[in-house]
Amino acid sequence: MLEAVIFDVDGTLAETEHDGHRVAFNRAFAAMGLPYRWDGKTYHRLLSVAGGRERLLFFLARNADDLSEQQREELARELHRLKTLYFREIIALGGLTPRPGVLRLLDELHKAGIRLAIATTGSRDWVEPLLLTLLGKSRSDFFEIILTGEDVHAKKPSPEVYHQALEKLSLPPSQVMAIEDSRNGLLAAHAAGIACVIVRNRYSEPAEHLRAELVVDSLGEESTPAVVLSNPHAVEFSGVVSHKTLLALQRALHPA
């Protein structure tokens, strides 16, 4: 029985990375007079590190080796503080919009009484304003639980955020499904025993590298059907990832 669906944020609810987070990081570098600028190719590579502050540390360790470890820690903290401010400004501009099918699926699941949660490695300072901007107050209130990077010691691909979600939902993994966009997110959900639907985007790994229960290029809308990229359980698909799709997947994974 499907009781709850846990949504990732970045790359899943909205395409926030290339024109959002990446731009905010570059504004932070410029504000501190640093010569670094992350183009799409560089940022794509750095996205293998979950967590903006961790991503900065990873980059500085390879590009600012004249600094001591403590100086790099302090610089990463300040850069990430600025970056979060800039990302909040980007959110306020209103240019970030929900990916196709997100609002439709949230409404369907809520109407069907499926419990909803958020599990992201992103920072709470922007997650809440982003949800309000993307979804509006009423849909943001659909989420019973919102877990962010501050709630865990280890970020994805650690399963910690999903373990916490299961605990707060008081549900076994077999009654829950995750919607993600990245390999880190897939690994985290699977390590928690949770089946995972991947909604690929420009920064996602190739579908053949993602051993998810279903891989699509979007959640789909009637007007813009999704393309199935991997469907190992041969779940019936009608162009959109719907409550019915998730129920069929759940039945295929956990036959009565």
Residues 52, 40: Cα–Cα separation, whole Å: 15
Q: Which among 3-11, 27-35, 146-154, 171-179 is the span making contact with Mg ion, rule CB under 5 A?
A: 3-11
Of positions 76, 90, 115, 120, contacts ligand XBP by CB under 6 A: 120
Which string of b and e fits 94-103 if b means at least 16 CB within 10 Å?
Answer: eebebbbbbb
Residue 10 is among the residues annotated as catalytic for this protein? yes
- Closer residue to Mg ion (CB): 17 or 108: 17
- In the complex, the smallest distance separating the C-beta of residue 111 from Mg ion, rounded to whole angstroms, is 25
- In the complex, the smallest distance separating the C-beta of residue 219 from ligand XBP, rounded to whole angstroms, is 15
Of positions 72, 115, 156, 190, contacts ligand XBP by CB under 6 A: 156
Q: Phi/psi of residue 129, each to 5°?
A: -65, -35
**Any contact of residue 52 with ligand XBP (CB under 6 A)?**
yes
Q: Which among 11-19, 27-35, 61-69, 147-155 is the span making contact with Mg ion, rule CB under 5 A?
A: 11-19
Residues 40, 113: Cα–Cα separation, whole Å: 39
- Closer residue to ligand XBP (CB): 118 or 235: 118
Helix 124-140 to helix 69-93 angle, to the nearest 10 degrees? 30
- Closer residue to Mg ion (CB): 14 or 248: 14
Q: Which among 2-10, 107-115, 199-207, 239-247 is the span making contact with ligand XBP, rule CB under 6 A?
A: 2-10
Q: Report yes or no: 3 and 177 within 8 Å, Cβ to Cβ.
A: no
Of positions 11, 98, 157, 220, contacts ligand XBP by CB under 6 A: 11
Interacting residue ranges for ligand XBP, rule: CB under 6 A: 8-11, 17, 21, 50-52, 120-123, 149, 156, 182, 185
Binding site for Mg ion (CB under 5 A): 8, 10-11, 181-182
